[in-house]
A and B are shown apart, each in its own frame.
Chain A
Amino acid sequence: MASVTLSKIKKNYTKDVCVIKGVDLEIQDGEFVVFVGPSGCGKSTLLRMIAGLEDITEGELRIGDVVANDLHASKRGIAMVFQSYALYPHMSVYENMAFALKLAGTDKAEIDQRVKSAAEVLQMTHLLDRKPKALSGGQRQRVAIGRAIVRQPKVFLFDEPLSNLDASLRLQMRVELSKLHQELKTTMIYVTHDQVEAMTLADRIVVFNAGIIQQVGSPLEMYENPSNLFVAGFLGSPKMNLLEADLVAIETGSAHVRLPEGIQIRAAVNASTCKVGDKVTIGIRPEHMQLSTVDAVNAVPARVDLVEHLGDIVLAYIQVKGINEILCMKLPAESDVIKFGDSIHVVFPEKNCLLFDAMGIALKRV
Chain B
Amino acid sequence: MAMGKQLQTVLTLSGQYAGLITFGIFTTFPFIWALSVALSGDPSNTWLFPRSFIPTDVSLMWFKRVFDEMPFMTYMKNSTLMTIESILGVLIVSILAGYPLARLKFPGRNFIFVSILATMMLPSEVAIIPNFITLKHMGLLDTHLGAIIPNFAAAFGIFLMKQAFEAVPQDLVDAARVDGATEMQILWRVMVPVTGPSIAALGIFSLVNAWNDYIWPSIVISSRDKLPLAVGVFNDLTGPFATSYSMVMAAIIMTVIPVLIFFAFTQRFFIGGMDGAVK
Contact = CB atoms under 8 A, between A and B. Distances in A.
Interface string B1-36: 110110000000000000000000000000000000
A341 B1 CA distance: 70
A69 interface: yes
A251 interface: no
A69 B3 CA distance: 12
A67 B4 CA distance: 15
Interface residues of B, number: 4
Interface residues of A, number: 3
Nearest to A55: B5
Contacts of B5: 70
Interface in A52-72: 67, 69-70
B113 to A, nearest CB: 24
A350 B99 CA distance: 69
Contacts of A67: 1
Nearest to A67: B1
A132 B218 CA distance: 53
Contacts of B1: 67, 69-70
A70 B4 CA distance: 8
B9 to A, nearest CB: 9
Interface in A35-89: 67, 69-70
A63 to B, nearest CB: 14
A69 B5 CA distance: 10
Contacts of A69: 1-2
A67 B5 CA distance: 14
A67 B1 CA distance: 10
B106 to A, nearest CB: 30
B247 to A, nearest CB: 51
A46 B1 CA distance: 21
Nearest to B3: A70
B194 to A, nearest CB: 27
Contacts of A70: 1-2, 4-5
Nearest to B1: A70
Contacts of B4: 70
B1 to A, nearest CB: 5
Nearest to B2: A70
A76 to B, nearest CB: 13
Nearest to A72: B5
Contacts of B2: 69-70
A69 B4 CA distance: 12
A70 B9 CA distance: 12
A14 to B, nearest CB: 17
B271 to A, nearest CB: 24
B5 to A, nearest CB: 5
Interface in B230-259: none
A98 to B, nearest CB: 28
A49 to B, nearest CB: 14
A133 to B, nearest CB: 14
Interface string A184-199: 0000000000000000
A234 B152 CA distance: 61
Interface in B123-152: none
A67 to B, nearest CB: 8
Nearest to B5: A70
A63 B207 CA distance: 58
A138 to B, nearest CB: 27
Nearest to B9: A55
A111 B51 CA distance: 62
A70 B5 CA distance: 6
A70 B6 CA distance: 9
B204 to A, nearest CB: 32
A70 B2 CA distance: 6
A98 B1 CA distance: 30
B20 to A, nearest CB: 23
Interface of B: 1-2, 4-5
The 5 closest A-B pairs by CB, nearest first: A70-B5, A70-B1, A70-B2, A70-B4, A69-B2
7 contacts: A67-B1, A69-B1, A69-B2, A70-B1, A70-B2, A70-B4, A70-B5
Interface of A: 67, 69-70
